[in-house]
Structure formats: structure tokens, C-alpha cells
Amino acid sequence: MRLSFWCELAWLPPGEVVQGVLVTVEGDRFAEIVPAVPEPPRDAVRLAGLTLPGLANAHSHAFHRALRGVTQAEKGSFWTWRERMYAVAAALDPDSYLTLARAVYAEMALAGITCVGEFHYLHHGPDGVPYGDQNAMGHALVEAARAAGIRISLLDTCYLTGGLGIPLDGVQTRFGDGDAERWAGRAEALRDAYAGAGDVAVGAAVHSVRAVPAEQIPTVADFSHRHATPLHVHVSEQQAENAACVEMYAATPVQLLTERGALGPRSTAVHATHLSDVDLALLGQSGTHVCMCPTTERDLADGVGPARPLFEAGSPITLGSDSHAVIDLFEEARAVELDERLVSGRRGHWTAAELLDAATAAGHASLGFPDAGVLLPGARADLVSVRLDSVRTAGATPATAAEAVVFAASPADVHSVVAGGRRIVTDGRHGLGDVGGLLAAAIREIS
């Protein structure tokens, strides 16, 4: 099927806003990108405002969406927040997780996200006993993403201990497979189930050095190396994590992951907030992506990571909404710049083009879709159109459109989304209908 879209403005490589761009789609790929077409052809769908490649949410825990607002009524800490999160995890089964995740992914689509990296560790039944299909929860997430119309990189997570040297306890038993070999066997079955599926990538994740003993990490890394698939890991999110790791292993988390073969161009270090100079150099020299999740990092009072130094050292930067305190990749992007302004006392660390690249091409590449996130012939046909006439963006010109979107737009300004050649959002409305209602019903079900 051949479709045409005429973009009033489009963000084209190498990071320029171009007027009057005609985009032709065949199947799930771009066939042609033609700039300087002054008027839309009769058969083309007109896309007003600025059209971007699809956004990639490189770090998601879908079930955390049920916590939005709940944890703001108390002071607490990361660790008390975690107890609330465990309560939600205890309430889910494959059916209720499908219902919740479908609504969460539809919310992402409304925000312009066409691909999600789901950091998935909620594997088994509430008592830790596997379901009849040991990947039932993973299948629910894939079904949810497909229903919402977005691609998924299902980052199947190895989670073996409740802390350094501490066995899993309580709801944590749902997360564990016993050891990395048994995790790998289950992950292989999951990967086989989606072999050849163009909309699903099955990757791997080490939850953290707290949750996977050092001797088990190479098995997870080997899965990634053998299948050339993404490998993600929470890294140095908390200073307490660093201190415990140094005490047990005489190495920081980054050093330990380096020694165990878990870093490299297919790897992504999530957060990387509290790093030494050596850590920063190791991440950069290995080409490891770093996923910044500023809205979650500030919500949990984790701190501000050294995004610009990491980027300059050689680590591509990506973005994630993580706990879904909000789902807004424009906010994640501008927060990378604005938070660094607060820490440094100066402006101008990142250009709008660099932040858009983090939200698009770099994010897709880190999730195993290097052929997405860019408006070029042959790339995956994802288009996200953002209004430039709302109360937030009014006054933008072609010369300032990218800056207006990055530093002022919100998901409310996204009016059209095409994912894989299929239009899933039209006039700001998702094909599933009332997504707010779907979210409310799903959260009530598990509350």
C-alpha cells in the first residue's frame, strides 16, 4: 500500500527544518522524501506544524504508571517508593498487565512515541512459580504494544537477588529465574517466539549489580553477543549502590560490568547518575549508550547525571520515561539541558538538534532498530507531527521550530502519529479511543 504525506515542516538529516516535504510510504518503509514541494498533492495527507521521526522511549517499566500521583503524598525516599512499586507488582497477572500496558503504550503513542524499550522483570506468578507459559507476562507486553500500534524492544531482565548477597524475598520472587542459565533458557524461548517479527525485538537486561551477582553477568552478556541484541542495565542510580558494590567487589558498577563483558555499542547504561572519571571514560570508550530519565531521576531525588561529558567521551545519549511520573519525551529532552544549567550555572550545553537525535535515531538504535528514527528512504515509516499554533508553540517560525518543540511543546501538541506506515493517532486521538478512560479502568482493576 502506497501513502503520501505532505509535511508543512519536517526535520530532516543532518538536523535541519525543511519546508514543504512530501513523504511517500510503501508498507512500513519510507519510499521517497522530497523537499521543497510548495503545495500538497491532491492525494497526500497534510501534516501541519513540524513533523519529526518517531520518538523512542528507551526505558520503560509499564506497570509503574499505576504509581503516578500515589507516591507524591509522602516524603519518603527511593527505597520507600520501591515498596509501593512492589505492591503494584504483586497485584498483576497476564490479563491485568495486558490491560494496563495497552493503555500505557497508547498514552506513549499520543506523546509521539513509536517504539518502547520495556525493561521487563515481572516474569512469574505472585509466589514465584512460573505460569504454564513461562513467558506469559512478556507475551502480554508484546500484545499490548501491538494493540497500541507501536514497536517494542522487550528487554528481558535477569533479576536474581534482592541486593548484594541478599536472596529474593516476597514479591521479588516473581522476578527471579534461579540463576542466569535458567534465565537464558527462558529468554531463548521468548526470542524464538518472535523470530522474524518486524515489530518486536527481544533483548536482554541485567537489572543491576545489586540484583545479578558478578559471576552471573557474563551469561546475560553472552546472550546479547550471540544474538546481536540490545543489553541494558541500571547503573549507579544511587550512591548507596556504588558504595555497596565497591565494598563487595572492590570495583564500581561500571568497572564490574566492564570486567564481565557487559558494556559496548549494543549496551545501554540506564541513569549513570553517580560516576567517577574512570567510569565515565569506560562508558565512553566502549561506545555504551547512556539512557537519561530526568523526570524519574528528579522525582526520586536521584541526582543529575553527567550527560554532556558522557556524550563527549563517546556515549550516545538516549531518553526514557522510566517510572512514568510523566510520559513526555519533549520534557525528558529539555530536562537534559535545563538540569545541567541548574548544576553548572550556565546555559547552552545541548542544541535542539542534539536532543532530538537522542529522542529519535539514538534511542531507536539502542533498542535494536537502527533503521528507525530518521526521515530517509528505506527507514521505518514513523512520523510524528507537532502543532506550532498552540498556546505553548505559537509564534514559532521555520528557523525556530525545532527549538520551540524541544523547549516548549508537550504531548498535547502531538496531533498525528504514523508508526510503521500505519496512522495510529489522528487529530490528537488514538485509535483505541479514550485512553484516559482505559488507564483509569486498568489502574482501578489492580488497586
pLDDT tens digits, 395-429: 999 999 999 999 999 999 999 999 999 999 999 99
Grid coordinates representing 44 are 497526500
pLDDT in the model for residue 280: 98
pLDDT in the model for residue 447: 85
What confidence tens digit (pLDDT) does each residue in 152-209 have? 999 999 999 999 999 999 999 999 999 999 999 999 999 999 999 999 999 999 999 9
Residues carrying CATH 2.30.40.10, the chain: 2-52+383-419
Model confidence at 295, pLDDT cuts 50, 70, 90, reads very high
Q: Is the pLDDT assigned to residue 1 strictly greater than 90?
A: no
Which residues make beta-bridge pairs with 120? 156
- Out of 322, 328, 339, 413, which one is annotated catalytic? 322
Query: DSSP letters of 164-194?
Result: TTEE--GGGGGT--SSHHHHHHHHHHHHHHT
CATH homologous superfamily of 55-366: Metal-dependent hydrolases (3.20.20.140)
Q: Is the whole-model pTM more than 0.95?
A: yes
pLDDT, the chain, mean: 97
Share of the chain above pLDDT 70, in %: 100
What confidence tens digit (pLDDT) does each residue in 25-45 have? 999 999 999 999 999 999 999
139 is an active site residue: no
CATH architecture of the domain with residue range 2-52+383-419: Roll (2.30)
Q: Decide if 31 contacts 24 (C-beta within 8 A).
A: yes
What is the distance between the alpha carbons of residues 7 and 45, in angstroms, rounded to a whole number?
Answer: 8
Give the mean pLDDT of 76-97: 88
What confidence tens digit (pLDDT) does each residue in 46-67 have? 999 999 999 999 999 999 999 9
Q: Is the pLDDT assigned to residue 69 strictly greater than 90?
A: no
271 is an active site residue: yes
Residues carrying CATH 3.20.20.140, the chain: 55-366
What is the distance between the alpha carbons of residues 367 and 148, in angstroms, rounded to a whole number?
Answer: 18
pLDDT in the model for residue 81: 81
pLDDT in the model for residue 75: 74
Overall residue count recorded for the chain in this entry: 447
Which residues make beta-bridge pairs with 50? 9, 386
Q: Is the pLDDT assigned to residue 78 strictly greater than 90?
A: no
What is the distance between the alpha carbons of residues 137 and 287, in angstroms, rounded to a whole number?
Answer: 32
Grid coordinates representing 57 are 522511549
Q: Is the pLDDT assigned to residue 74 strictly greater than 90?
A: no
- Out of 139, 207, 271, 349, which one is annotated catalytic? 271
